[in-house]
Amino acid sequence: MAYWDDIWLNEGFANWMETKTSSTFDPSLHDEYEALDQRNGALNADSLVTARQIRQPILVTDDILNAFDGITYDKGASVLRMFERYVGADVFQRGVREHLAAKAHGNATSGDFVATISKVSGKDVTAAFATFLDQAGAPEIVVGQTCTGTPAVTLEQHRYLPAGASAATATQPWLLPVCVVYENKGKRAEACTLLGEATGKLTINQSACPRWVMPNANATGYYRVAYTAAQLTSLRDEAWPELTWNERRAIFNEVAVAAGQGKVPLMLALSFVPKLLVGNDRFTLGAALGLPTGFNRWVPADLQPKYEFWLRSTFGPGALAAGLSPKDTDSLDVEETRNDLVDAVAWTAREPKLVEQAVALADGWRDLPQAVRGLVLTIAVDAKPELFAKILRDVRTEPDRVRRGEMFGAIAQTRDVKRQAAALALILDPTLDVRETINMIWSGSEEDNSAVARRFFKDHKAEILARLPQAGSTNPVANYADLFTGTCQAAQRDEVIAYVRKEFSQLPGGVRVVDQAIEEMNQCIAMRAVIEPELRGWLTGVKIPKPGKTGDKPETKTKGKGKGKGKGDGKGKGEGKGPGKKAGKSRNN
C-alpha cells in the first residue's frame, strides 16, 4: 500500500485469496464456506455505531493499531467477493492480474485497484466501491413483492443497527449489487440489479408472483436482510431444496439475529436447527450447535436441568455415536463436527457417559490424536480434581509447545473457581512465557469464572501489563477492556464504564477499543433483556421424563412464546450476533 489507510488492500485481499486458493488445492476442505463466516463476522463488527471505515483516515498513530481488525480483514474480503460476482469471476481475475503486473515491486492505492477493475470489466465501479470503502456500517435490505402487472421484487435499504445502539451519523445509500433468488414454476431462478437509492424495484421475468424470495444469491452480497416470520417460514418449508448451503446458512444467520432483536420468535430460529444438522460439514453443524449452546450463561438457574436435558436429547445420540476416538479415515469435517457435538453434549450439557469416556482416555492423553486431545483433556480436568492438580504441575516441564497450549487451556476452563484461581496464577510465573499463559484470562466457562478472571486482572493489572510484549503489536493491549464489558449486566454498567475508561483508554489504541467495548456491552444488555424471557418461555415447555421412562426426544409444550436475543459466549461456532453468538472483533496479529 502507499499508506496505512489502504492496509485493507493487503489484508482483505489476503483473506479473499486464501479461501480461493485452499478450495482449489483441496475442494474437500470446502473453504468457500469460510467466506460466509468471514462475511458474518464483518457484519458483526459493522453493527457498531463506532465501526471503522474500511479505508479509515490515519490521523494519529493509534489509528494504525486499530486498523488490524475484522473490518480490514473480513469486510475487505467480503466486499471484494461481492464485486467479483458483480463483474464476473473471470473478468475480476483479469483485473487483479493486470493490477499486480502494473504495480509489481511498487506501491498502490485503492483508487488504482478499483480503476483497473473498472477498465477491464467495462463497468465503472468506482462510486459503488467508495460507498463500502469510505463509510462505516453495513446495509440492511427489506424485501417485498408487487404482483399487479409484471411481478417485481421491491427493495429498501438502510444502515443496520441492533437494539441498544446509539444514533449513528447518517449514511448515503450504498451502490449495492443485489442478486435475488426466487421461485419460478417450482424451480429456482435468479435476477440481479444495482440498488443505488433508498428504495428500488427489480422486475422478474414471469407471469405470477414467486412463492418465495431469497435476496442474496449464494450469500455473496455484503448486506443483511430483514426477513419477516412469514418469509422465513416459506424459505424453510418451500425454498430449502432449491437453495445452496451458503444461502441456507445465511438465512439461518439472519433468523438468529432477528430472533435476538425480538423481530421473530426464538422458536422459529430453533426450528432451523434440524435443517442444518444434515449439512455434515464443520461450518454448518457448528452454526447449528452455536445457537442453542450459546444460551448457556443466560439460562435461569431453575431451568438449567431442562436446558441440559434438551441439549442431551437433541444432540446426544449424534455425540455418543461419534464418541471421542477418531479414525485414520476421518476428514477435517468429521474431526471438527465430532468435537463440536461432543463439546455441546459432554461439556455444556454434562453428558455422564461422554464425561466418563473423556476421564478414561485422559490417562494417556499425550498419545491421543491432536484432533481430540485438547477437548478430552478439558472435559477430564474439569471432572477430576486430581487430574487438574497433575496437569497444573506437569505443564511447567512439558517440552512440547502444542501440548503445553492444550494443558493451559484445560486447566483455565475448569468450572471450579478455586482451581481456576490456581491456574490463573501461572500468568504471573516468570519461568513461563506469558504469550502462552495470557489467554487463560479469557477461558472462564461460567459467569462465576468470568468474575474470577476479572478480579485477577484487577488485582494484578500492573504485573500483567509489565509482562506483555510492548512493541510491534497490532493487537492493542487495551482489548482487555472486553474482559469487563463482557459482563453484560445492566446493574454493573456504570461501574464497568468508569473502570475501563480509566484503566484502558490511555493505552495505545485504547480510545477506539474502549468505545467499541462499551458499545458492545450496551447492545448486549439490550439483547439480554429480550432473550431471558424468551428462554424462560421455551424451557418452561420442556418436560423431563420421570425416572424409568425412555426416549431421546424432550417433550415440549406449544405455549411459552417470547422474543429474544443474547450475546452468549457459546463454545460452538456461532455465526452473527444472534442468540448464543459471541459477538467479537477479529483480533488478527
Grid cell, residue 382, equals: 474439569
Cα separation, 149 vs 223, whole angstroms: 29
Predicted confidence (pLDDT) per residue in 356-370, tens digit: 999 999 999 999 999
Mean pLDDT, the chain, rounded, equals 90
Predicted confidence (pLDDT) per residue in 257-315, tens digit: 999 888 999 999 999 999 999 988 999 999 999 999 988 888 999 999 999 999 999 99
Nearest Cα to Cα of residue 98 among 117, 70, 82, 122? 117
- Residues of the chain with pLDDT > 90, as a percent, come to 81
572: confidence class by pLDDT, cuts 50, 70, 90: very low
Q: What is the pLDDT of residue 471?
A: 62
DSSP code for 509: T
Cα separation, 397 vs 418, whole angstroms: 23
Q: What single string gives the DSSP state of each residue in 240-285?
A: GGGS-HHHHHHHHHHHHHHHHTTSSBHHHHHTTHHHHHTT-SHHHH
Is the whole-model pTM more than 0.75? yes
Predicted confidence (pLDDT) per residue in 320-343, tens digit: 999 999 888 999 999 999 999 999
Nearest Cα to Cα of residue 71 among 133, 20, 16? 133
388-424 as b/e, with b when 16 or more CB fall inside 10 Å?
A: beebbeebeebeeeebbbbbbbbbbbbeebebbeebb
- Is residue 367 classed as helix, strand or coil in its secondary structure? helix
pLDDT over 90 (residue 40)? yes
- Is residue 563 classed as helix, strand or coil in its secondary structure? strand
Mean pLDDT of 537-561: 69
553: confidence class by pLDDT, cuts 50, 70, 90: low
Vertex 583: Cα angle to 579 and 589 (nearest 5):
155
Percent of the chain that is helix, strand, coil (3-state, to 5):
60, 10, 35
Grid cell, residue 344, equals: 455441546
Q: What is the pLDDT of residue 552?
A: 54
Grid cell, residue 562, equals: 417470547
Nearest Cα to Cα of residue 300 among 101, 534, 513? 534
Nearest Cα to Cα of residue 475 among 14, 66, 105, 77? 66
567: confidence class by pLDDT, cuts 50, 70, 90: very low
549 burial via Cβ count (<10 Å: 0-12, 13-18, 19+): exposed
Mean pLDDT of 184-198: 94
Nearest Cα to Cα of residue 272 among 299, 298, 251? 251
Neighbours of 352 (CB within 10 A): 10
427 burial via Cβ count (<10 Å: 0-12, 13-18, 19+): buried
> Among 147-161, 234-248, 469-483, whose mean pLDDT is lowest?
469-483
Cα separation, 83 vs 23, whole angstroms: 19
Q: Return the amino acid letter for 62.
A: D
Q: What is the pLDDT of residue 149?
A: 84
